[in-house]
Structure 1
Amino acid sequence: MVVSYILLASFLSSALSDTTCPDAWVADRGSCYLFSIDQTSTFVEAQHYCGQHDAHLTIIDDDFENNFLKSFVRKFRHTNWWIGLTDELVEGDWRWYKTQEVPVFTDWAPNEPNSYGGKHNEDCGVMHTSTDFKWVDDLCSLHYSPICEKEAGSTTELTVIG
């Protein structure tokens, strides 16, 4: 069933997008996304997993991209998803891990980020099931599924074989 969703999403995204992506990746507006439902890991492990696929944990630039990602992850209702946002260097100073840039767009759930009321060191961003995939901060040591992102190739590129 999961493979069916991925294949359908890949087909629809490729048909509606002017970008191309590797198999099992979903194309949208110049990026390719890998929703690794079967790969749960800590935040650091998720970064390495994405790196092994020449990608990074997703950087969400705007409401359109956020809604696209939410529409996809809602199909997997019981899964939480790592995004590439962290404040592990300076508490309260949230930055995209790959670029160290402050986000221009956020979708924090009410009362988030909160480091669990200051009781825990919650330094990593998650699209969480309990908030309909609005963002929360959570412990980086928990095991969630990563959303990997990389730049898509153009559909005008041709591969010549032979």
Structure 2
Amino acid sequence: MDLHTFLLAFATFILTGTINSSNAEIFGNQTVRDILIKNRCLCPCGPSTLDSWKSFLIPFSEGTWFEAISYCNEMGMSIVQIRNKHDSKELQDWLNGQEYEQGESFWIGANDLARAGIHRWGLTNKQVKFEEWATGEPNGANIRGEIEHCVQLVTDTMKWNDAVCSKKLKFICERFVQ
């Protein structure tokens, strides 16, 4: 399957809202769920026990938001989700020990691809409840014909900015470890 077909399937999945409602055949005899499973884009995106903690990874390469999702899942991880102040602080503490350029931005899992203004986490379809938007964000700007639907984290401030999903950025993957 080519990248275009996968991205179309992923967008269809996001727009349907859940994996269970994506059982309609869209490519021959393949459903969105089939395509996501085949491309390893389904993940357990939460702690398996109460004593779980997060492990983070910043890959060396940059990618679009969709490529970030795919890469993290290929590694058995998910794109980072910042669910509360504790998650934000934990990530900030970890980032402080990493080498990256001052002011660098990273993709995180939040997006409003399914419905403008309603942000959800990556592939979980869980609504974003904790938000750390930079002043004036999210603004859903139109950049050369593409609307900003995906969210980047600005490391200097730990604030969020919406950006076009096709922008190439570094990204942060996470995995819950017991």
Alpha-carbon shift at residue 117 of structure 1 (Å): 7.3
Which aligned segments of 4 or more residues in structure 1 are displaced greater than 3 angstroms?
Answer: 71-75, 117-120
Structure 1 residues 71 and 31: CA distance shift in structure 2, 3 A: closer
Which residue of the other structure, out of 53, 77, 81, is the alignment partner of 1:30?
53
Which amino acid is the alignment partner of residue 70 of structure 1?
Answer: Q
Separation (CA, whole Å) in 1 of partners of 2:131 and 2:61: 25
Which residue of the other structure, out of 82, 85, 89, is the alignment partner of 2:114?
89
The answer on 1:54 being equivalent to 2:76 is yes
The answer on 1:124 being equivalent to 2:145 is no
| Structure 1: runs of 5+ lacking an equivalent | 1-27, 154-162
Alpha-carbon shift at residue 85 of structure 1 (Å): 0.5
- Secondary structure in 1 matching 2:124: coil
Separation (CA, whole Å) in 1 of partners of 2:80 and 2:119: 14
Which residue of the other structure, out of 151, 165, 175, is the alignment partner of 1:140?
165
Summarize deviations over 1:41-79 as a string: whole Å, max 9, x none: 000000111011111111111112112223443552242
> TM-score, with normalisation over the residues of structure 1?
0.68
| Structure 2: runs of 5+ lacking an equivalent | 1-50
